[in-house]
Every structure is written in C-alpha cells, then in structure tokens.
A and B are shown apart, each in its own frame.
Chain A
Amino acid sequence: MNNELLRTLATVVAVSAPLVYAGIGETLTEKAGVINLSLDGSILLSAMGAFATAYLTGSLFWGFVVAALIGAAVAALIAFASISLRQDQVAVGFVLTLLCADLSSFLGNPFVHKPGPAIPNMPIPILKDLPIVGPILFSQDLVVYGSFLLILLSWLWTFKTQPGLRLQGIGERPEAAFARGTNVNRLRFFYTVLGGALVGIAGAAYSLDIKLGWSHNHTAGNGWIALAIVIFGGWHPLRVAFGAYLFGGLKALGSVMQRVAPGVPTQIFQAAPFALMIVALLLVSGNVLDRLLAYLPRRTRQRVTSLVRSSPPAALGKPFVEE
C-alpha cells in the first residue's frame, strides 16, 4: 500500500474518534431507553469548556475532566426532566441543544482563535512497526487509543456481562426488568449520565485534538451526525463505531475527490457523505436486506440478522412508572 493511502486511513481513524465517543455514549443512553437529543449542543459546550480549562490551567487532563463533567451535567438535566419529572425527552433535549450552543458562544467568546495546548502524538512501540495496521491504528494519540478501548469495552459490557443484560432489559421492557429486581429508573439515570460524559469527552476530543482550538459553532453539526450514526448502527456498539468510521471515510473521500475533480462544486463533496449515509441506512433497514438474508440457513440468519438489523430498544423514549 502506498504511503498516502495509509496516511489518509490514519486520518480517518483519528477524525472519527470524537464521533465514536459521542456515538457510543448515546448508544448506551438509548439502550437504556432514554434519548439524549442535546448532543449537538453539549458537544459544543464541552468542547468550549475543555479548551477554556486547558488554556487557563495548561492541563489537558483537566480539560477532558471538565468536558466530561459538562456532558454529564447536561445529560443529568435530561435524565431529571424525563425520568423524575416525566417531561418529553425530545422537547427537553431540543431546548438544551439550543441553550448549550448559545451558551458556548457566549462563554467561549474570550477564547476564540486563541492558541491552546494539543494532545501529543504517541505511537506505540513495536505495534507501530506492524505493516499496515501499525501506521493506521498504532501511530495515533491517547484519545484515539481511548476510542478503540471504548468500542471494545462497550461491546463487551453490553453483550457479554450480566449488567449489560440489564441495560438491554431496561430499554427493551422496563416492566419486565423491574419484575426481575432491577431499579429501572436509577439505572436509566446512570446510563444517561455516563453516556453524557462520553459525549462531553467527544467535545474535548475536538477542541484539544482533532479540530484544535475554539471558535463560534466550532463543532456544530457533529452532534446530529452522531445521533444519526446511532440509528445507522442499530444501537449496536460495533456497528455504531463502523458508522463513525464510514462517515469519516466518506468525508475523506470527498476531499480526495475534490482534488481529483476540481471542476465539480465543492458543496457536492461536502454533502455526499450525508446522502451516502442515507442510502446505507436504506440498505440496512429495507427489504433488500431481508431478501438477501432469506437465502441463509435459519441459525446463521438469526445471527446475521441480529448483527445487521436495526431495531430500536422497544421502550426507547418511554418513561417507566413504578406502580
């Protein structure tokens, strides 16, 4: 493989890292049955908070901590409004999106276009020298490695552990989970806040690593993409991660094409990833897939179906009231 391709792929892996954090964070929240719609706003606010903290203290670590806390705090508001006050999750989330975005502009004004610290690159010895995967996966920085670890852990947690089963249960059928001795609302609160913290880290990953610095609406749009990726990924951590990389890849392809075909308006390449995501979504959820799957033997079909099929947690967005 030539070097340029490797470098492009490495960039795709890196720029997708924030989407992985946000997408998986939201996946955990939605698996528990709660929709945190505020992603676009909370990523902006936590990106700003992370940058401001790191700029003022000089500590990247505290930048990430503050970002995680901001994300968690916004999520806690949503959890409180939807779980405790039983308000509409979508409405609350939407209002918070707008509020956080405005707040980030207002509070972040003094930090616009200031030079700040950045996460240093940290190739992993030995692994970085592996052919192909070395330069793509192991010549990155801690934030990107963290995203790998998150993919693996969230998948293991959701599908391979006992608490993961409960997580699936409270999103699928909270009454049944309750009948099996689960404190549904407490767990929902927990996963909403945990997911929010990961969304906050996504914000810090932008302003301190992937899209350095701070400006008005610095990360705007990425929250909505993360939300779409969760649906695209069928609420499955591995597929959500795949969605994030696919989107990153399509964007990279866009900029390559722009160089190859300079005559074509740039907007086309900027918009293409979204259109392609929609096509991919149709393929995943439409009849086409059903027809293809029908050819597989029954057992394999069940497995493949559960891997590629998107169906939301059955109780997504529905409050649970203990009688």
Chain B
Amino acid sequence: MQIELRNIHKHFGPVRANDGISLRVQSGTIHGLLGENGAGKSTLMKILSGYLSLDSGQILVKGRPVSIQSPAQGIRHGIGMLHQDPLDFPAMRVLDNFLLGRGSRLRQHRARAKTELLQLADRFGFPMDPEEMLSTLSIGERQQLEILRLISLGAETLILDEPTTGISTPQKVQLFATLHRLAAEGRSVIFVSHKLEDAEELCHRVTVLRHGRVSGEIEAPFQSAQLVRLMFGQDLPPSERATIPTGQPVLQLDHVTLPGPRFSIPNISMTIRAGEVIGLAGIEGSGQRLFLHACVGLVRPSSGQILLDGQDMVGQSYHHLLKSGMAFLPANRLEEGLVEGLTLAEHCILTDRENMPFFVRWSEAREKARQKISEYNIQGTPDSPIESLSGGNQQRALLSLLPSHLRLLALEHPTRGLDVESARWVWDMLQQRRRQGTAIVFTSADLDEIRERSERIYVFSGGNLSGPVDATETSTTELGMMIGGKAYEIA
C-alpha cells in the first residue's frame, strides 16, 4: 500500500519534533526510517498511525488524502503500528491481548479468535500459547503477538518502532525474515531504527531524519559512511580510548551468589580496580540491575563476600556505604534519582551531607546550584523544578550532585534517552572521575557504548554471567551472540 507524507509539522512546546517532513513509502517494500535519538522518528510514525495529531501537513494513502485522527482510523486505513515500548496488557492473557480492540461487537468469539491466532502464529512460525499471561512472555514474543494482531486487523502498512531493542539475536533473525515475507506479500513495512546495521541489513530504501527534518534518502545497497553522515552530520570520530592506569582493587566479589526474584546468579568472583570501567551487557532483566544493586550494597548476597577497599561491606547500611565513597545512578532518573517537584537548589540542600544546618540557608543553596549549572552546563535555573529539565539536563544534574570523591560509581543506562552530544558529555565527566581513581560499573542496552567505553565486559543472559571479555578484542556481533544465550566462557 502506497503511503505518502507531505510536509508534516509537529511541535511539543518549543521542541520541533517534526519540522516539515515529506516521505513516500512504496508498497511491497521495507522502508527504513533512520535517525539518532530525538530525531523525530517516533513522533512521525505516531502521527501516521493516528496516535498523535499533526499540526500541519498531509497524509495520502494510495494517492488519496486522508485524515487520520485516531489509531482506530489509522487501522481502518490499513496502518498499524508496533510502538517502541510495546503497547499491550501484561496483566492479561495472550488471547485477551489479541482480542482487545477488535471492533465493538458484544461477543468475544474467543474460540474463533483463538483458531485465527494459532493459524497466524503457525504461518509465521511464532510459538504462541493463547492462554498464557502476557507478563510471562519476552519482549520479542510480545512483539510477535502484536504483529499477528495487526495483520489480523488487516494492516497493510506495518510500522515497527525500534523493534530490535531488547530482543534476542534469534528473535531478531526471525523478525527480519517475517518482515521480508510481509513485504513479499505486498504489504509495506516501515522500519524505524537508530541502528545502522539493522537498516543496512533489512531495508530496500532508507530515509534519514535529523533534528526533525529529512536529511537524505538512499536506495540499497547502502554505504555506512553515507548513512552516518546523514544521521550525524559528519563522520563519527574514531573513539579514542583513554589510557588511564588502573590502581588498587576497589571492589572484590568472592564467590558471591545473588538472590533474585526470578533466578539467582551463582558464584560471581571478580575484582574491580580504581580507574577501571566495567560494562555489563544483556537484555533488560537478565540480572544486571541485581548485580549493580549488589555492588552498591542495595542487595545482600545470599552467600559469598563483597569487599570494598578490603573491608567486608555485607551488612553495612547504605548510608555508611555512601559515606565510604559509593554512588549509584539509576536509570529511572525521576523515580529513583531525583525528587520530582523539588528544584535544583533544593536538591543541593538534600544531597549536601557534610553541611547540614537546621535551618536551610537558601541563598547559599541557590549559589551552589548556580555554580553547578555553569560547571555542568545545565540548561535551567536554580529554581526550575527538576522534572522540567530535559533528560540530558537531568542526567547532568544527577552527576553534579554526586560527592566530589568517589571510590565506586555504579550507573544504570547512563546515556539512555540522551542525544549524542549529552551522551558524549556524560562520558567526558566519567573519564574525569576515572582519572581521580573512581572505578565505574555500568549497564547499557547499547552494545557499541559498552564496547567503546569499558575495558572489560561481563554479559548477563537469563541469570547467567559470562566473561570477562576484553572490550578491545570483541565485536558487537560476538556480544550479541552471548546475550542471545550462546554464552561461552572466555579465559
């Protein structure tokens, strides 16, 4: 089904998410929509599927202008979207998820829907148990269900927003095969991604977005250099690996077993030295978070010993550990790291552990906040509520609030949701910390980030820990394979 977008504009407050985008997708093709985080891809696709309304512009389906005001209208025009964060119902059954939103008849026709779901699943080779609770499925399986659901609703244009994040390598292979098949059946597929290699491998044609505009459109075969130039404006500088000498052991884990809710991670032994960076790779929920929590004393191991600077830290209070130079930066910045509703100045007061007068010294706090703003280049004022800052600035604020001397810094997805410049800035800050002898442990969903930024890499896969892998000698593919369950011990 041919789709055309003409001069689409959409802004959120001052942010021009889509600034005059035009795009044409031919039927029977896989069309890539490439761009770095924040380029406006999701916004454009939400507009096309009816999830968001547009400010101005025109949508044409099969050459005829249409108005798509709601997802229901989108599907009526044959446009179905798989959202970046799967929009489904974990607390309900697979079949309920499949049924929900199919017309407004009174009866459910469960038996009929079940047969249809199983037939479809069979056709695409997806394993599917209709009575299973959705929460027990992996992200990849939930994606598969969504694809089947959209197809059964008659979607002729299928939009997939960043579908390869968080799924295993075999699931990705299967996904790509499915998309090829859908295209061969005459449907159009719009594949949204910020990953070059995915787009190169899969797409017939790629449109690149940058800062809310189309920066170029290319036909396969693609040249990576050209795509990179369109995405980022210039070639990515080869990442220079800072050589920072490692020092004394900071954290030592000795045959530690960590108890988790779904699985426990047995027998971890490792040593983290001052100035060293350890990357933790794995699909979300494979145990990295548990491990990070254990490193900073938020989770108590069920057996084994964790030494911080040679001292047993098991059983110490979190407060004590913070005092001895630990810090943890969670991924949910607003939920666990910062206090929504408080300003930057108030955060300065909260986190100042050395100097705690009974009455708050407001002018001092504001002055301190102003210092941090200029030192850490935060876009905001001492009195702006923390949630009004953008993601990058919230991360800057969090970093600015860390105590000046740290032994160990544990970070969860330190650059998630940040634009390239902010992400680079965050790592510059972290490099400075390393030079002062701070050891860094971090998780990331971005394998390139892990490969570039860490020295040793550990891979989590369903509660199994493998590694360490030398970051300079591994490849993204190898890590991907390990994450996908093909873990092997590397001496």
Contacts and interface: CB of A to CB of B under 8 A. Distances in A.
A166 B101 contact: yes
A299 B102 CA distance: 26
Dominant SS among interface residues on chain B: loop
B126 interface: no
Interface string A155-170: 0000011110110110
Interface string B116-146: 0000000000000001110000000000000
Given A172-B92, A175-B87, A180 B107 contact: no
Contacts of A161: 106-108
Contacts, number: 74
Interface string B88-110: 11111000100111111111100
Nearest to A157: B106
B83 interface: yes
Given A180-B101, A314-B91, A162 B51 contact: no
Interface string B375-393: 0000000000000000000
Interface string A288-323: 000000000001001000100001001000000001
Contact of A176 (B89, B107, B108): B89
B104 A163 contact: yes
Interface residues of B, number: 30
A162 B133 CA distance: 18
Dominant SS among interface residues on chain A: helix
B91 A172 contact: yes
B81 A162 contact: no
A177 interface: yes
Contacts of A180: 71-72, 87, 100-101
A162 B105 contact: yes
B190 to A, nearest CB: 16
A173 interface: yes
B71 A168 contact: no
A260 interface: no
A160 B71 contact: no
A17 to B, nearest CB: 27
Contact of A166 (B49, B71, B100, B107): B100
B52 A179 contact: no
A177 B88 CA distance: 8
B106 A181 contact: no
Contact of B89 (A163, A173, A183, A311): A173
B81 A179 contact: yes
Contacts of B71: 178-181
23 contacts: A162-B104, A162-B105, A162-B108, A163-B106, A165-B92, A166-B100, A166-B101, A168-B89, A169-B100, A173-B90, A176-B87, A176-B88, A179-B49, A179-B83, A179-B101, A180-B100, A182-B72, A299-B131, A302-B131, A306-B133, A323-B46, A323-B51, A323-B52
Interface of B: 46, 49, 51-52, 70-72, 75, 81, 83, 87-92, 96, 99-108, 131-133
Nearest 6 pairs between A and B by C-beta? A180-B101, A181-B72, A176-B87, A179-B87, A165-B100, A179-B71
